[in-house]
Amino acid sequence: MTTPVLDVRGLAFAYPDGHQALFGVDLHVHRGERVALLGPNGAGKTTLVLHLNGIHLAGAGSVTVSGLPVTKANIKEIRRRVGIVFQDPDDQLFMGTVREDVAFGPANLGLRGSALDAKVTEALAKVGMEDFADRPPHHLSFGQRRRVAVATVLAMDPEILVLDEPSSNLDPASRRELADILRDLDVTVLMVTHDLPYALELCDRSVILDGGIVAAEGRTVDVLSNADLMCAHRLELPFGFDPVAAAATL
Amino acid sequence: MPAHLKVVALVGFMLVVVATPREWFAAYAFFLAVLVTVGAVARVRPGWVLKRMVVETPFVVFALLMPFIAQGPRVDVLGLSLSESGLLSAWGLLAKGTLGVIAGLLLAATTTPQELVRGLERLRMPEQLVQIMAFMVRYLEVVTDEMRRMAVARASRGFEARNPLHWPVLARSVGALFIRSFERGERVHLAMVSRGYTGRMPR
């Protein structure tokens, strides 16, 4: 099999205060896959995500992105390869205009002039926000800001897009629009979410993280329809949602 | 007009105004005429400027007091005995202050905060200061929004700040707001670092 885009092996990590969050996580994501990372609050999902681009460095075990290990020396290339979209777009968008914000990442990679402009326009077009390039981010709606946040990361040509709760706080229409955008992107995706129907809609495979380890993984429809497994990890489907019936309509 | 030229013009104008002796009344009329012309060319509504001139009020109060409290020879105006030097000082303070406020407001009316920050950057203001100002501009609305939501949440639980006994609650709210802003600062930094930020803005 080809080198996985994301290869996490035996990853363990404790915070400086001694609180251990990860106890040996194994996770592989292959090119072109969309994988959902599920799990209750406090399962270590965010901690895991912050290992993927070297904000945290592995206490034990390893994280490899397309064959390149996440270490201090590789940090710049790793952060280009792994694009993280954080949950609150206000944390991610901090420049005066949308254009500058999308340009921030590629400019940090050394892109300048017309190549930079082209990259910005391309990234904004992918999320359908090219008409808003000169607006200040805080004048956009929440859904628009979320889409721009995705563009800020796409502009860096990542090999894997990591989304932290992409559907949170979106109204149903914005939620569906974002799903359409994500489905059309030609990029590998790891999506952290509590929104299980969203995971089913977008991701073939799901991984359950609980208690700092990967507790289960499999086809999303199988995971969601396994009532015992779901209950054991504090996962619950929305009222009346039938994953098997929903999967049949995909 | 580029923002950095406007800033230079404002500072230059103010230095000239402050350096002009207060007895040169004609010069002040000329300064005011300059500002009115600039305002007219830039199509700034006079009402917009007048409303915002309220910030000058404390200086006006102080200026009005000066003729009463200053020493020296006195003159009679409308039956009040006023100090001559006090009157002159009051005129100087009022004239210079008002010109400064109008000039500043004209800059504010014709320049967005983003342009202003970029102008200061072009004037070689230290990069860290420019970055701090840019972040302030960006997050002012987010933080005031958060503050408003906290106030609504307080009021929804029947809280009204009517007397000093309620101040501890307000103090705790400010504390909570500070911590939330601080944590947001950390998250913003994290998001920046994730996109390759190393301490300098790319240019």
- The per-residue pLDDT for range B35-89, each reduced to its tens digit, is 989 888 888 888 888 888 888 888 888 888 877 777 777 777 776 777 777 888 8
| CB-count burial class (<10 Å; 0-12, 13-18, 19+) for A186 | exposed
Instruction: Give B198's contacts in chain A (Cβ within 8 Å).
Output: 108
Q: How much is the ipTM here?
A: 0.73
Query: Residue A89 belongs to a domain with what CATH number?
Result: 3.40.50.300
SS3 A69: strand
Provide the domain limits for residue A230: 6-248
Residue A1: count of CB within 10 angstroms of its CB: 5
**Long-range contacts of range B99-102, CB-CB < 8 Å, 24 or more positions apart?**
B99/B14, B99/B17, B99/B28, B99/B31, B99/B32, B99/B35, B100/B14, B100/B17, B101/B53, B101/B55, B101/B56, B102/B32, B102/B35, B102/B39, B102/B49, B102/B53
Task: Find the residue in A nearest to B183 (Cα).
Answer: A91
- Chain A to chain B Cβ contacts (< 8 Å): 71
In a domain, A126, yes or no: yes
> Which residues make Cβ contacts (< 8 Å) with residue B202, sequence separation at least 6?
A103, A104, A107, A108
pLDDT tens sequence for chain A (250 residues): 688 999 999 999 999 888 999 999 999 999 999 999 999 998 999 899 999 988 899 989 999 999 999 998 998 899 899 999 988 888 888 887 899 889 988 988 888 999 999 999 999 999 999 999 999 888 899 999 999 999 999 999 999 999 999 999 999 999 999 999 999 999 999 999 999 999 999 999 999 999 999 999 999 999 999 999 999 999 999 999 999 999 999 8
The whole-angstrom separation of Cα A132 and Cα A117 is: 14
DSSP H stretches of helix in chain A? 45-52, 75-81, 89-92, 98-108, 113-126, 142-154, 172-184, 196-202, 220-224, 227-232, 243-248
Helical H runs in chain B? 3-19, 25-41, 46-52, 57-69, 84-110, 113-122, 127-156, 167-194
CB-based burial label for B114 (10 Å; 0-12, 13-18, 19+): middle
Q: How far is B103 from chain A (nearest CA, A)?
A: 25
Contact A105 B195 (CB under 8 A): yes
Residue A176: per-residue pLDDT? 96
Contact criterion met (CB < 8 Å) for A152 and B195: yes
Q: Which residues of A touch B191 (CB under 8 A)?
A: 84, 86, 91-92, 94
CB contact under 8 A, B114 and A136: yes
Q: Are A199 and A38 contacting, i.e. CB atoms less than 8 angstroms apart?
A: yes
End-to-end CA distance of chain B: 22
Calculate how close chain B gets to A50, using CA atoms only, in Å: 9
Verify whether the Cβ–Cβ distance B194 to A107 is below 8 Å.
Answer: no
Q: How high is the pLDDT of residue A1?
A: 62
* B138–A109 CB contact, under 8 Å: no
Please tell me the predicted confidence (pLDDT) of residue B198. 84
Question: Is A1 inside a domain boundary?
Answer: no
Provide the residue ranges of all domains of chain B, joining segments of one domain with +: 3-117, 126-194
Query: Is the CB of residue A182 less than 8 Å from the CB of residue A146?
Result: no
CA dist B83 and B80 (Å) reads: 10
The number of domains in chain A is 1
Report the share of chain B in percent with pLDDT over 90: 8
For B190: left if phi > 0, alpha if psi spans -120 to 50, otherwise beta; the answer is alpha
Using the beta-carbon criterion (under 8 Å), do B196 and A156 form an inter-chain contact? yes
How far the first Cα of chain A sits from its last, in Å, is: 28
Contact A181, A11 (CB under 8 A): no
For residue A128, the 8-state DSSP code is T
CB of A50 within 8 Å of a chain B CB? The answer is yes
Sheet holding A82-85, edge to edge: A82-85, A160-164, A188-192, A34-38, A205-210, A213-219
Which among B117, B135, B202 has CB closest to A94? Answer: B135
Q: In this structure, what token pair is assigned to residue A228? A: 């015992």
Which residue's entry shows tokens 């200026």? B63
Q: Do A97 and B114 touch (CB under 8 A)?
A: yes
Strand partners, B34: none
Q: What residues of A are in contact with residue B197 (Cβ under 8 Å)?
A: 104, 108
A91 contacts on B by Cβ (under 8 Å): 184, 187-188, 190-191
Instruction: Kindly report the nearest CA distance between residue B79 and chain A, in angstroms.
Output: 57
- Choosing among B132, B141, B195, B200, which should be mutated to test the A contact, i.e. which has the most A CBs within 10 A? B195
Query: A88: how many CB neighbours lie within 10 A of its CB?
Result: 20
A97 CB within 8 Å of a chain B CB? yes
| Percentage with pLDDT > 70 across chain A | 100
Query: Pseudo-torsion of CA B99, B102, B104, B107, nearest 10°?
Result: -130
Asked if the structure places residue A223 within a domain, the reply is yes
A113 to chain B, closest Cα gap in Å: 10
Chain B residues 125-184 with CB within 8 Å of chain A = 134-135, 137-139, 141-142, 184
Residues of chain B falling short of pLDDT 50: none
- Gap between the Cα atoms of A52 and A74, Å rounded: 12
- A44 phi/psi in degrees, rounded to 5: 105, 10
Residue A42 lies in a domain: yes
Could B195 and A88 be called an inter-chain contact, meaning their C-beta atoms sit closer than 8 Å? no
Tokens of A124: 């904004």
Which one, of A151, A142, A198, lies nearest residue A170 by Cα?
A142
In chain B, which residue's Cα lies nearest the Cα of A136? Answer: B138
pLDDT for B158: 66
| Residues of chain A with C-beta less than 8 angstroms from the C-beta of B133 | none
A159 found inside a domain:
yes
Shortest alpha-carbon distance between residue B117 and chain A (Å) = 10
Q: Does B190 touch chain A (CB under 8 A)?
A: yes
Mutation target for A interface from B194, B197, B200, B203: give the one with most A CBs within 10 A: B194
